[in-house]
Amino acid sequence: MSHGRAGWNAITSSGDDVAANYGRKIPSSEDRYGRAHEAVQLIQALWGSWGKDAWVHNQQSGQFAKKEQILPINLQGKYAGSRGPLYIPPSEQGQPIIFHAGGSPNGHELAGRFANAVIGAAFTIEDARAQRNAFREAAKRYGRDPDEIKYIPGIMTTIAKNRRAALDRRIQLTGHTFRQRAGYLQQMLGIPVDANRLDEPISKALLADARPSRYSYFFVATLAVVVAGFYKSYFSQFPTFIGSLMYITLILYCCCSGLQC
């Protein structure tokens, strides 16, 4: 139908709700990305298991394909394997475009090896440049031309007459996710976060123990927002949410979505 105008957003899952669909708990980042490397390599090999001229589709002669140009791939890894080949011809372009959206070091490596385009989530122009450079350096490590990777900075906007109104709208639309995202905040900062106490402030003593997650790109920006939440001059227009996890989780959601809060 699309004549090959299709792509694959090759990302790893990060939630137990998704893993539960397969009767599993979410694996570690190393296992998720280890599986992702093998899966993308295997699928690309399957796409390439048909030669360029293998599909004949000659209705007059009845020839469907040139079987000598359709070969097994015989790949077996730790997480995935396949003998191949595909039983149907690949799309018209042979190798569909691969997207990736992940800012961790593991995400950089996966994108550097396979991606044609990446969707980033940056807070500033400097952040976007740093993230783009990280993807480009990863591509070089895999012997690729870094210009093969196109970087697309992602942004999710909430439009209103002012910042307060925009935040209120964001709360209305996403408030049901705050408890779930409190767990992500805990993982990112490395400190305990109680999802049942979202309206209570985070103590300075607890914040002193915050440590960056090796799997998240957002630690520095998130911690800055959390720390700033204790200064009334910074959040003077938001007295209800000063220093509270409710407000911080909201900001975290905005930042991880690429929104400049």
Q: What local confidence, expressed as pLDDT, does residue 225 receive?
A: 62
**Residue bearing tokens 């070089």:** 140
| Residue 251 to residues 72, 138, 243, Cα–Cα distance (Å) | 50, 30, 12
- Report the amino acid identity of residue 198: L
What is the chain's pLDDT, residue by residue, as a tens digit (261 residues)?
788 788 999 999 877 888 899 899 989 989 999 999 999 999 999 999 999 899 998 999 999 999 999 999 999 999 999 999 999 888 888 899 999 988 788 999 999 999 999 998 776 677 788 889 999 999 999 999 999 999 988 776 777 787 778 778 877 887 787 777 777 778 777 888 787 877 777 777 888 888 877 656 666 666 666 665 532 222 223 333 333 455 445 554 554 444 444
Strand partners, 8: 98
Q: What local confidence, expressed as pLDDT, does residue 170 receive?
A: 76
E strand map for the chain: 7-9, 55-58, 63-65, 75-76, 81-82, 97-100, 117-120, 150-153
Domains of the chain: 7-153 (3.20.20.30), 163-256 (no CATH)
SS3 133: helix
Question: Tens digit of pLDDT for each residue in 111-158?
Answer: 999 999 999 877 667 778 888 999 999 999 999 999 999 998 877 677
Q: What local confidence, expressed as pLDDT, does residue 232 receive?
A: 26
| Residue 177 to residues 5, 71, 173, 174, 249, Cα–Cα distance (Å) | 34, 48, 9, 6, 9
